[in-house]
A and B are shown apart, each in its own frame.
Chain A
Amino acid sequence: MISDLLFRLRALFRRGAMEAEMDEELRAHFENQVAKHAASGMTREDAVRRARLEFGGYEQVKEECRDARGVGWLETTLQDVRYALRMLRKNSGFAAVAILTLALGIGANTAIFSVLDSVLLRPLPYQDPAGLVMLWENNSQHPNPHNTVSPPDFLDWQNRNTVFTELAALFDQHANLTGNGLPQEVILEDVSANFFSVLGVRPILGPGFTPENGKAGHDNVVILSYGFWKERFAGDPEVIGKAIALGGHEQTIVGVAPENFTWFIKDGSFTGAKPEMWTPFVFPKTFSDRKDVGRFLTVVARLKPGATVPGAQSQMTAIAAQIAEEYPDFNAYWGANVVPVRDQISGELRPALLILAGAVAFVLLIACANVSSLLLARAAAREREIAVRTAIGASPWRIARQLLTESVLLALIGGVIGILLSVWGANLVLAASPKNLLGVSSLPVDWRVLGFAAGATLLAGLLFGFLPSYIAAHSGISATLKEGGRGSSAGKRRGFARAAFVVGQMCLALVLLAGSGLLIRSFVRLAGVDPGFDAGHLLSFKISLPTSKYRDDKALLTFFQQLLARISRLPGVRAVSMCSFPPFTGLGSATGVHVLSQPERSLMDLPVAAVRMVGKNYFSTMQIPLRAGRDFNEQELTEERHVVIVNQAFVDQCLHGSNPLGQKAVIYMKSLEESKNTPSEIIGVVGDVRQMGLDTPAEPTVYWPHPELVLSEMTIVLRAEKDPLQLVAAVRSELRQMDPEQPMAAISTMDDLLAGSLARSRFTMLVLGVFAALALVLASVGIYGVIAYSVTQRTQEFGIRMALGANQRDVLRLVLGQGTRLAFLGIGLGVAAALVVTRLMATLLYGVSATDPLTFTAVALLLALVALGACYIPARRATRVDPIVALHYE
Chain B
Amino acid sequence: MAQKRIELPQGTLDLLILRTLALEPQHGWAISERIQQISSDVLLIQQGSLYPALHRLERRGWIKAKWGTSENNRRAKYYELTKTGRKQLELEQDSWKKLAAAVAQILETA
For B76, what are the chain A residues with a Cβ–Cβ distance below 8 Å?
25, 28
Q: Is the CB of A65 within 8 A of B75?
A: no
Q: Is the CB of B77 within 8 A of A25?
A: yes
Q: Is the CB of B77 within 8 A of A56?
A: no
Residue in B closest to A7 when the chains form the complex, CB atoms: B59
For A65, what are the chain B residues with a Cβ–Cβ distance below 8 Å?
51-52, 55
Most chain B CB atoms below 10 A, which of A8, A33, A64, A70 = A64
Partner of B46, one of A4, A26, A28, A54: A54
A67 at the interface (CB under 8 A from B): yes
Most chain B CB atoms below 10 A, which of A29, A57, A60, A67 = A29
A24 at the interface (CB under 8 A from B): yes
Q: Is the CB of A68 within 8 A of B48?
A: no
Q: Is the CB of B29 within 8 A of A32?
A: yes
Interface hits, B7-47 → A, CB 8 Å: 27-29, 32-33, 46-47
Instruction: Knowing A28-B27, A29-B28, A29-B29 are in contact, say whether A60-B48 is a contact too (CB < 8 A).
Output: yes
Most chain B CB atoms below 10 A, which of A26, A28, A36, A57 = A28
CB distance from A43 to the nearest CB of B (A): 17
For A54, what are the chain B residues with a Cβ–Cβ distance below 8 Å?
46-47
A56 CA / B56 CA spacing, docked (Å): 18
Interface hits, B49-76 → A, CB 8 Å: 49, 51-53, 55-56, 58-61, 70, 74-76
Residues of B at the A interface (CB closer than 8 Å) are: 1, 27-29, 32-33, 46-49, 51-53, 55-56, 58-61, 70, 74-77
CB distance from B26 to the nearest CB of A (A): 12
CB distance from B27 to the nearest CB of A (A): 7
CB distance from B73 to the nearest CB of A (A): 12
Q: Is the CB of B29 within 8 A of A28?
A: yes
CB distance from B23 to the nearest CB of A (A): 19
A24 CA / B65 CA spacing, docked (Å): 14
Q: Is the CB of B52 within 8 A of A56?
A: no
A53 CA / B1 CA spacing, docked (Å): 8
Q: Is the CB of A69 within 8 A of B47?
A: no
Instruction: Knowing A7-B59, A68-B59 are in contact, say whether A55-B27 is a contact too (CB < 8 A).
Output: no
For B59, what are the chain A residues with a Cβ–Cβ distance below 8 Å?
4, 7-8, 68-70
A19 at the interface (CB under 8 A from B): no
> Could you write out 6 A-B pairs with CB less than 8 Å apart?
A24-B75, A28-B29, A28-B70, A36-B33, A56-B46, A70-B59
Q: Is the CB of A56 within 8 A of B48?
A: yes
Instruction: Knowing A28-B27, A32-B29, A68-B59 are in contact, say whether A57-B77 is a contact too (CB < 8 A).
Output: no
For B1, what are the chain A residues with a Cβ–Cβ distance below 8 Å?
53
A8 CA / B70 CA spacing, docked (Å): 28
A22 CA / B52 CA spacing, docked (Å): 10
Closest 8 CB pairs of A and B: A56-B48, A61-B48, A64-B52, A68-B56, A68-B55, A68-B52, A32-B29, A29-B29
For A3, what are the chain B residues with a Cβ–Cβ distance below 8 Å?
61
Partner of B48, one of A24, A32, A55: A55
Interface hits, A23-60 → B, CB 8 Å: 24-26, 28-29, 32-33, 36, 53-58, 60
A21 at the interface (CB under 8 A from B): yes
Q: Is the CB of A4 within 8 A of B61?
A: yes
For A61, what are the chain B residues with a Cβ–Cβ distance below 8 Å?
48-49, 51-52
- Residue count of chain A within 8 Å CB distance of chain B: 28
CB distance from A751 to the nearest CB of B (A): 75
Residues of A at the B interface (CB closer than 8 Å) are: 3-4, 7-8, 21-22, 24-26, 28-29, 32-33, 36, 53-58, 60-61, 64-65, 67-70
A137 CA / B26 CA spacing, docked (Å): 87
A25 CA / B75 CA spacing, docked (Å): 9
Partner of B47, one of A25, A29, A70: A29
CB distance from B95 to the nearest CB of A (A): 22
A67 CA / B59 CA spacing, docked (Å): 11
Q: A33-B47, A68-B55 are in contact. List 16 more A-B contacts (CB 8 A).
A: A3-B61, A21-B77, A24-B77, A25-B28, A28-B70, A28-B77, A29-B28, A56-B47, A56-B48, A57-B48, A61-B49, A64-B52, A65-B51, A65-B55, A68-B59, A70-B59
For B53, what are the chain A residues with a Cβ–Cβ distance below 8 Å?
68
CB distance from A11 to the nearest CB of B (A): 8
What is the interface of chain A mostly: helix, strand, loop, or mixed?
A: helix
For A60, what are the chain B residues with a Cβ–Cβ distance below 8 Å?
48
Residue in B closest to A60 when the chains form the complex, CB atoms: B48
A24 CA / B75 CA spacing, docked (Å): 9
CB distance from B56 to the nearest CB of A (A): 4
For A22, what are the chain B residues with a Cβ–Cβ distance below 8 Å?
51
CB distance from B72 to the nearest CB of A (A): 8
Residue in B closest to A70 when the chains form the complex, CB atoms: B59
For A53, what are the chain B residues with a Cβ–Cβ distance below 8 Å?
1
Instruction: Knowing A64-B52, A68-B53 are in contact, say whether A28-B28 is a contact too (CB < 8 A).
Output: yes
CB distance from A498 to the nearest CB of B (A): 38
CB distance from B74 to the nearest CB of A (A): 6
A70 CA / B56 CA spacing, docked (Å): 8
Residue in A closest to B46 when the chains form the complex, CB atoms: A56
For A4, what are the chain B residues with a Cβ–Cβ distance below 8 Å?
59-61
A543 CA / B57 CA spacing, docked (Å): 86
Most chain B CB atoms below 10 A, which of A24, A64, A68 = A68
A68 CA / B74 CA spacing, docked (Å): 26
A65 CA / B65 CA spacing, docked (Å): 14
For B47, what are the chain A residues with a Cβ–Cβ distance below 8 Å?
29, 33, 54-56
A22 CA / B65 CA spacing, docked (Å): 12
A28 CA / B70 CA spacing, docked (Å): 10
Residue in B closest to A8 when the chains form the complex, CB atoms: B59
Residue in B closest to A11 when the chains form the complex, CB atoms: B59
A64 CA / B48 CA spacing, docked (Å): 9
A28 CA / B74 CA spacing, docked (Å): 8
Residue in A closest to B70 when the chains form the complex, CB atoms: A28
A57 CA / B52 CA spacing, docked (Å): 13
For A26, what are the chain B residues with a Cβ–Cβ distance below 8 Å?
51
A32 CA / B50 CA spacing, docked (Å): 15
A56 CA / B55 CA spacing, docked (Å): 17
For B60, what are the chain A residues with a Cβ–Cβ distance below 8 Å?
4
Q: Is the CB of B51 within 8 A of A33?
A: no
CB distance from A740 to the nearest CB of B (A): 87
A60 CA / B48 CA spacing, docked (Å): 9
For A64, what are the chain B residues with a Cβ–Cβ distance below 8 Å?
48-49, 51-52
CB distance from B16 to the nearest CB of A (A): 16
Residue in A closest to B60 when the chains form the complex, CB atoms: A4
A55 CA / B47 CA spacing, docked (Å): 5
CB distance from A550 to the nearest CB of B (A): 90
For B27, what are the chain A residues with a Cβ–Cβ distance below 8 Å?
25, 28
CB distance from B85 to the nearest CB of A (A): 13
CB distance from B1 to the nearest CB of A (A): 6
CB distance from B81 to the nearest CB of A (A): 16
Residue in B closest to A56 when the chains form the complex, CB atoms: B48
A24 CA / B52 CA spacing, docked (Å): 15
Instruction: Knowing A4-B59, A24-B75, A55-B47 are in contact, say whether A29-B32 is a contact too (CB < 8 A).
Output: yes
A446 CA / B27 CA spacing, docked (Å): 56
A54 CA / B49 CA spacing, docked (Å): 10
CB distance from A392 to the nearest CB of B (A): 15
CB distance from A254 to the nearest CB of B (A): 68
Residue in A closest to B57 when the chains form the complex, CB atoms: A68
A67 CA / B49 CA spacing, docked (Å): 12
A56 CA / B44 CA spacing, docked (Å): 13
A602 CA / B10 CA spacing, docked (Å): 88
Residue in A closest to B1 when the chains form the complex, CB atoms: A53
A180 CA / B27 CA spacing, docked (Å): 95
Residue in B closest to A21 when the chains form the complex, CB atoms: B77
For B70, what are the chain A residues with a Cβ–Cβ distance below 8 Å?
28
For B52, what are the chain A residues with a Cβ–Cβ distance below 8 Å?
61, 64-65, 67-68
Residue in A closest to B28 when the chains form the complex, CB atoms: A29
A54 CA / B45 CA spacing, docked (Å): 8
Partner of A58, one of B48, B61, B77: B48
A29 CA / B58 CA spacing, docked (Å): 18
A64 CA / B54 CA spacing, docked (Å): 11
For B61, what are the chain A residues with a Cβ–Cβ distance below 8 Å?
3-4
Residue in A closest to B74 when the chains form the complex, CB atoms: A28
